[in-house]
Structure 1
Amino acid sequence: MEIYSSLGIQAGISIFSHIFFIGITFYALQAFRLDQLFKKGRTIQIQLIYILLSIAIGSSVSNFILDISNWSKQLPYIFT
């Protein structure tokens, strides 16, 4: 049962991490003026680009942080 509990906790942390970093990325992308790159009246496409960029960048950052965390937990196995 301990394995299932550990996997559940890890899944919860991963979901929270992804949502957190996607939100931070969405907030950070608001500083850019991407609307100048698009034609006038393309509001839906601009919003879609913000969402897709937020998901892509936020997920990448989250995966990086989670990988570093998992690798740091595995470092003690070098000395066994």
Structure 2
Amino acid sequence: MNGLFMFGLLKLISHMLFIFLSFWALKAVRIEKWIRKNHIPEARILYVFLSIALGYLVSSFFLDFLEVSRNLSLLITN
């Protein structure tokens, strides 16, 4: 039970961290060139959705990489 709680907490922290990092990194992209004039709220929502999607994908990759490396280490030691 404790291991399951810790993995859930790691997953939550990882998702939030990578969503924040992707939001920060997307500030470097000049996305306003693609948005029509007077559509500021829609652009902000698009920015948040892109951050969530990118952060979730990177976090999922990171967590899968950790799981595979842990499984490989268990396979090699046994």
TM-score normalised to the size of structure 1? Answer: 0.90
CA distance in 2, matches of 1:18, 1:69: 14
The amino acid that maps onto 1:33 is R
What letter is aligned with 1:60?
L
Q: What displacement does 1:73 show?
A: 0.6
Q: What corresponds to 2:10 in structure 1?
A: 13
Residue deviations 1:22-78, cap 9 Å, x none? 000000001111111111111111101110000101000000000000111101343
1:22 maps to 2:16: no
Of 31, 42, 47, the residue aligned with 2:44 is 47
Is residue 58 of structure 1 aligned with residue 55 of structure 2? yes
Which residues of structure 2 form unaligned runs of 5+? none
Q: Counterpart amino acid of 2:15? A: H
Count of matched residue pairs: 77
Structure 1: which 5+ residue stretches go unaligned?
Answer: none
What RMSD, in angstroms, separates the aligned Cα atoms of the two structures?
Answer: 0.9
Task: Quote the Cα distance in structure 1 between the aligned partners of 2:2 and 2:28.
Answer: 40
| Structure 1 stretches of 4+ moved >2 Å | 76-80
